[in-house]
Amino acid sequence: MDVSGEWALNLLHLLAVFAIAACLYVSLPEWQGRSRSRSLLLVPPALAFICVYVMMGFVAPENREPWLLRAALGLGLALGVIRGLFIKSDIDEFGLVRLPGARDGLLVTMVIAAAMVTATLAPLVTEQAVAWVPYATSLAGLGATYLSGRAVIAYLRTRS
């Protein structure tokens, strides 16, 4: 939100769009069940966090709900770690990792994208929608920490 009180698209919105598009693109091999290097497991969560950090800047100071964001981040991390402990992984002779049955990453990434779209476009439609932005940001934060916890545990479990 700018100083005049109007909600307008800016470079941060563009950065968030590029980050979520890159997150979706880098996640494709996982969703398709293809093998990839272990280090690429950590890229989608990093891109998802870029979206969340940018979205945090969209929240007006008077609408911030810090307890909600903290709770979402903590819950997402706990759920991601639990999922990472139970995710099946296959490692081929080249050290590439495949996560069969890990379709939950697709759902979570789509939720983050939907939350980002809501946080970006809803205030353009109606002024009352500005109140939705902290909730959309918290939902995206939950998804980003879920992806992070899951990726870190899967990375650690697949070390040789």
Q: Report if residue 122 sits inside a domain.
A: yes
Sites in the chain below the pLDDT cut of 50? 1-5
Answer whether residue 47 is part of any domain: yes
**Residues facing residue 91 across a β-bridge:** 97
Residue 22 lies in a domain: yes
Quote helix, strand, coil % in the chain, to nearest 5.
75, 5, 20
Domain count, the chain: 1
DSSP-assigned beta bridge partners for residue 94: none
Instruction: Please list, residue by residue across 45-59, b when 16 or more beta carbons sit within 10 angstroms of its beta carbon and e when fewer do.
Output: bbbbbbbbbbbbebb
Which tens digit of pLDDT belongs to each residue from 95-126?
888 888 778 888 999 999 999 888 888 777 77
Whether 1 is in a domain gets the answer no
Report if residue 6 sits inside a domain: no
Distance from C-alpha of 133 to C-alpha of 121, rounded to nearest angstrom: 10
Instruction: Answer yes or no: is 2 within a domain.
Output: no
Q: What is the pLDDT of residue 132?
A: 83
For residue 88, give the DSSP letter: -
pLDDT at 80: 96
Q: Give the pLDDT score at 79.
A: 96
Q: What is the pLDDT of residue 94?
A: 86
Instruction: Give dist(CA 74, CA 68) in Å, integer.
Output: 10
Predicted TM-score (pTM) of this structure: 0.87
Is residue 56, in this structure, part of any structural domain at all? yes
Domain span holding position 40: 11-157
Q: Does the residue 128 lie in any domain? A: yes
